[in-house]
Amino acid sequence: MKNWYITGASTGLGREYAEAALNRGDQVVAVSIDPENMQDYRERYGDRVFVQELDVTDREAVERSTEAEKWKADI
């Protein structure tokens, strides 16, 4: 099992990557400026997904987010 930190996870490619990782059994920190679009993740994937609101243009918020993450990403 791998751990992922995916930005833009509420739509488009970010959502596709998040769902692909979750469908193969991995854990995902799903990050988006609009977490309401990711509520179905919790229902479908339970504790393998952590949904977080984050504006990636806010550098300080990004630094706080990555330091405090529940899981460490596999890089």
Give this prediction's pTM: 0.80
- What pLDDT does 75 receive? 47
* Inter-CA distances, 63 with 2, 42, 75, Å: 22, 24, 17
Angle at 67 between CA 49 and CA 52, to 5 degrees: 35
pLDDT category at 70 given cuts 50, 70, 90 is low
> For 14-65, how does the pLDDT look when each residue is reduced to its tens digit (9 = 90+)?
999 999 999 999 999 999 998 888 989 989 999 999 898 888 888 888 777 7
